[in-house]
Structure 1
């Protein structure tokens, strides 16, 4: 009896170990879902993201506005127009419509969806008050809820805890904290503008227009290096960029012709001067050195070519080779060894004995 119990215990242990091993193998064979990791999917991370207070409230309001548009009902053709008007009018501000909107609230939010659902619960009472008592007289839900009730946003053009007015930034920048209860109200200038109120031009820009309310800054000419310019064109540069030289007589920057001063190209190339730079292009194949493009601008003719009528022209042998190289290949030229050797009768006749 004792021996039987010992055998049963060992059998039960082996059965348990086998079951665990089989389960582990089965789990290992299950394919992993793409995009999922120990930290969760990208979608889950976006849902759980925490937005700043004003942005979060704005996302909730935008979702509610989408719900209003989604639940709009137009009049039907025919029937009693007065009855339709009365019925639709009552639905517009009804609790039924509010419930329809709230059921889908925040489902369209990508970033901060979880936070949006929490805010919907926190502000549920305020939203119901606005829906019943204020949506006709005060239709701007964002101002009513986010600015006045929750006090997490400011109207556009205001910033900070007390919603102080933003500076104008001369129309060339944005007030830091604009529309929120955050920020210091300083101007963040657009590219090309500088100054506390964005009322001056930045580096490498010049003043193209100014009046009492507007400033327009334009970029300096590409010839100008760091140091900027006094106006448009290369003549207004204070310092010249590489590839340009300051003209001591006329002032301003003059393009350097590297093709003359440096001769930067190889023997089988010719130089083309560009504004502030240069390019090296290949000579014609008939040339042994050249000063430009074409067989008439060769320094001398390459092997197999001779000078005729001011142009390097191929000799008879070279002309034939060039013609062969330039001739497009046809189907007749694409013959194989099998096509060139006629097949014998024995090779093409079927074997009737098979």
Structure 2
């Protein structure tokens, strides 16, 4: 059965599927919530297009269809939880229930060939723009839904489709101009229709390049590059070549056992075969020595930990010695007690 022959339970199911997707993540901004609602409604249409919605219970378990406005089953959540998105969601449900059902049984069912995307666009126009006044049509912005400027394919109108924004063109990366129709410095115009700006060659400097990705189309040279001999054209085009820092005398790598390795626009000081630089830095050393140095550092750390253990052991012995002293004192006191006991019978004999 086609979607357009669906009954009330189908509408309620689609609403449930749509609102479940926005109940948690929806922002309190009403236009955003409304957009999410219509987008999720489109997804629901796509998912359920092959099902039969002629009647009976909906597909989400065996429970009765969800009823609009009843918080008990509402996917918006409970407003007493104090969540702004839940409050905004419930407000939209109450506001849109009647026009939504009118659209479902009217325009939507009268056009059985309409795609889910077109149906969702028509629903947004009805609910978010005309009925709710929450959003603008695409191509308009601000409280009065003024027309957006034409930002081309490489930018977008700030606030497009909303009741907010400045209406200025916000350009994509690599583009500039009031209408985003120019290339940023560091890029060149690859095609005009459609407008496409691509990055200049890395050899080109801050002034960018003329009209191509080659190092021969630069306006100036980047650090690590220099103009080639006899380069330079009437249009300011310069051909840039790599500077071989390793060919300089003296070379940039003066440390023992290291060599200079040139690379485009740069260089590196690498250790000779059989040598390596210690993890802590410094000169290149024989691989065994460098590895031993790193091991010694780890061993030193281990010795420190061992010394700490010895200190703890010494403290334990001191405590044990103290315990023995206390025990000796106890024995002395006990001996004194026995002496006093021995003297008592002697005194009794004299009295006799």
With structure 2 as the length reference, what TM-score do the two structures score?
Answer: 0.54
CA contact (8 A) 2:69 2:93 kept: no
Contact 2:69/2:94 (<8 A) preserved = no
Q: SS of the counterpart of 1:117?
A: helix
Kindly indicate whether the alpha-carbon contact (under 8 Å) linking 1:272 and 1:279 is maintained by their aligned counterparts in 2: yes
User: How far is 1:97 from its partner?
Assistant: 5.1
Task: For residue 137 of structure 1, report the CA deviation from its aligned partner.
Answer: 4.2
Counterpart Cα distance in 2 of 1:249 and 1:158? 54
Name the CA shift for 1:136/1:160 in 2 (closer, same or farther; >3 Å): farther
Judged with a 3 Å threshold, the aligned counterparts in structure 2 of structure 1 residues 117 and 268 are, in CA distance, closer, same or farther, namely same
Q: CA deviation at 1:167?
A: 3.3
Q: 1:248 to 1:70 in 2, by over 3 A?
A: closer
Pick from 172, 178, 181: which aligns with 1:196? 178
1:51 aligned to 2:15? no
Given candidates 79, 87, 95, the residue that maps to 1:122 is: 95
Aligned to 1:157: 139
Give the corresponding residue for 1:184: 166
Measured in 2, the distance between the counterparts of 1:240 and 1:59 equals 49
Structure 2 partner of 1:268? 257
Aligned residue for 1:171, secondary structure, equals: coil
Aligned to 2:201: 221
* 8 A contact 1:67–1:101 mirrored in 2: no
Partner of residue 106 from structure 1, selected from 50, 56, 76: 76
Note the C-alpha offset of 1:254: 1.7
Answer yes or no: is the 8 Å Cα contact 2:68–2:97 preserved in 1: no
For the 8 Å contact 2:26–2:33, the answer to whether it is kept is no
Counterpart of 1:252 (choices 239, 262, 266) is 239
**1:278–1:111 distance in 2 versus 1, CA, 3 Å:** farther
1:279 is aligned to 268
CA drift of 1:100 comes to 7.6
- Post-superposition Cα deviations, 1:40-74, rounded to whole Å, max 9, x if no partner, equal xxxxxx96985333102223334555666788783
Q: Comparing both chains, which one has the higher relative contact order based on Cα–Cα distances under 8 Å and sequence gaps of 6 or more?
A: 2
Q: How does 1:37-116 map to 2 (within 5 A)?
A: 50-62=27-39, 74-75=51-52, 87=55, 99=67, 103-106=73-76, 112-116=85-89
Retained in 1: the 8 A contact 2:137–2:145? yes
Aligned to 1:8: none
Alignment of 1:319-334 (within 5 A): none
Whole-Å separation in 1 of the counterparts to 2:46 and 2:230 = 70
Change (3 A) 1:73 1:98: farther
Contact 2:68 2:93 in 1 (8 A): no
How many equivalent pairs are there? 231
The answer to whether the 8 A contact 1:48-1:115 is kept is no
- Counterpart CA distance in 2 for 1:66 and 1:270 is 62
Distance 1:73 1:191, change over 3 A: closer
Specify whether residues 98 and 132 from structure 1 end up closer, same or farther in structure 2 by C-alpha distance, changes over 3 A only: farther
Determine if contact 1:48/1:114 at 8 Å carries over to the other structure: no
Determine the C-alpha separation between the residues in 2 that align with 1:130 and 1:282.
Answer: 76
Gaps of 5+ in 1: 1-45, 76-84, 287-301, 304-320, 322-354
Per-residue CA deviations over 1:7-34 (Å, capped at 9, x if unaligned) read: xxxxxxxxxxxxxxxxxxxxxxxxxxxx
Mapped to 1, the partners of 2:218 and 2:75 lie a distance apart of: 58
Q: Structure 1's 174 and 285: CA in aligned 2 closer, same or farther, altered over 3 A?
A: same
Q: In angstroms, what is the RMSD of aligned CA positions?
A: 4.2
The alignment partner of 1:155 has SS state of coil
Structure-2 separation of matches of 1:166 and 1:51:
25
- Residues 258 and 272 in structure 2, CA contact (< 8 A), matched pair in contact too: yes
1:258-317: per-residue Cα shift (whole Å, max 9, x none)?
11125122231121210001122221239xxxxxxxxxxxxxxx99xxxxxxxxxxxxxx
Q: CA, structure 1 residues 264+111, in 2 after alignment: closer, same or farther (shift >3 Å)? A: farther
Secondary structure at 1:278 match in 2: strand
